[in-house]
Amino acid sequence: MNKGYLDNLFDLANKVVLMTGATGQLGFEVCKAFEKAGSTVFATDKAINTKKVIDSKQVKYFEMDITDKASIIQGMDRVYAEYDHLDVLINNAGVSCFEPYEERPEESFDWVMDVNLKGTFLCIQAYANEIKEKKHDGSIINIGSIYGLISPDFRIYTDCKRMNSEVYGATKAAVIQMTRYFAVHLARYGIRVNSVSPGGIFNTESPQGEDFVENYSYRCPMGRMANCEEMIGGILYLASSAAGYTTGQNLVIDGGMSCW
Ligand SMILES: NC(=O)c1ccc[n+]([C@@H]2O[C@H](COP(=O)([O-])OP(=O)(O)OC[C@H]3O[C@@H](n4cnc5c(N)ncnc54)[C@H](O)[C@@H]3O)[C@@H](O)[C@H]2O)c1
């Protein structure tokens, strides 16, 4: 077998990546994967969780609040001050609220909209404006969710206090749709835009609850929740030239959960 062939197809060495929500559960794994692949990662978060920091010169941490346009532009400036290209933007930062919808304060609703939807838009806007000026190719990967495609089954939340909210699903559906919008609008500038929609990821540090995990696993065709690392292959693929003709797509990684 010609090993070099696959290496070239999926080569991410020397790519420059900007990641939002980089010190959360998924963000940490994604940063680690790009670092191992030889990329340089600008790992940003609203507040850096020092327990989720990778000790490598290739991963550069700084604070960036995606609800604040000035903070995003500052972040982009920081990347372009060091490199003349930013190859991959990963819009991963996301939040949810968990009160029953009957009691949802407007502030909770607005907060989820601001981070998940407006924040993702502001990052895409800033990146697209940079690329139009700097004239290099790029790739955007938005993190959606299966709850942007299907409703949660509330019967399975028996011992899990993290009841999925209508606004969370609505923002994720919007992110998946915005992916298509920008795939169409940014293709002419050489920017591919795709999303990855994970199913429920088991949280090793703060487990969802035994009953919930059992119920979710029963509902899921593959019989279990996802491990965080199982999102990596799809994200690296979309960032690589193996996906060079792929844009506007939503890659669902959910063990088949959304198939019924
Ligand atoms: N965990 C799951 O089961 C699951 C399933 C489907 C989709 N997702 C999505 O995956 C992404 C990552 O989720 P996670 O499970 O790692 O969650 P997480 O809470 O561990 O990480 C989210 C990160 O976003 C950051 N963040 C919040 N507000 C921000 C802001 N204003 N500016 C910048 N950063 C901000 C947080 O500080 C945190 O580090 C989210 O978009 C989430 O909706 C998660």
Dihedral of the alpha carbons of 52, 56, 62, 64, in degrees to the nearest 10: -60
The pLDDT confidence band at residue 1, using thresholds 50, 70 and 90, is: low
Percent of the chain scored above 90 by pLDDT?
Answer: 93
pLDDT by residue (tens digit) across 71-89? Answer: 999 999 999 999 999 999 9
Residue found under tokens 């991410």:
12
Residue 60 has pLDDT above 90, yes or no: yes
For domain 3-259, which CATH number applies: 3.30.9.10, 1.10.10.10, 1.10.540.10, 3.40.50.720? 3.40.50.720
Query: Whose Cα sits closest to atom 39 in ligand 1?
Result: 24
For every residue of 106-141, DSSP letters joined together read HHHHHHHIIIIIIIHHHHHHHHHHHHHHH---EEEE
Residue 3 has pLDDT above 80, yes or no: no
pLDDT by residue (tens digit) across 115-131? Answer: 999 999 999 999 999 99
- What separation in Å is there between the alpha carbon of 57 and the centre of ligand 1? 24
Catalytic, 61? Answer no
Q: Which atom of ligand 1 is nearest to the CA of 26?
A: 16
> In the structure, which protein residues have their CB atom closer than 6 angstroms to any atom of ligand 1?
20-21, 23-27, 45-47, 65-67, 92-95, 115, 119, 143, 145, 198, 200-201
CA distance 75 to 64: 6
Identify whether the C-beta of residue 115 lies closer than 8 Å to the C-beta of residue 94. yes
The pLDDT of residue 161 is 82
- What separation in Å is there between the alpha carbon of 191 and the centre of ligand 1? 24
| Arithmetic mean of pLDDT, 209-231 | 97
Residue 219 has pLDDT above 70, yes or no: yes
The pLDDT of residue 163 is 84
pLDDT by residue (tens digit) across 131-179? Answer: 999 999 999 999 999 999 999 999 999 888 888 999 999 999 999 999 9
- Spans of all domains in the chain: 3-259
CA distance 82 to 247: 28
Query: Whose Cα sits closest to atom 8 in ligand 1?
Result: 145
Q: Which atom of ligand 1 is nearest to the CA of 91?
A: 41
Identify whether the C-beta of residue 213 lies closer than 8 Å to the C-beta of residue 152. no
Edge-to-edge strand order for the sheet containing 88-91? Answer: 59-63, 40-45, 16-19, 88-91, 138-143, 191-198, 250-253
Identify whether the C-beta of residue 30 lies closer than 8 Å to the C-beta of residue 55. no
| Farthest-apart Cα atoms in the chain, separation | 60
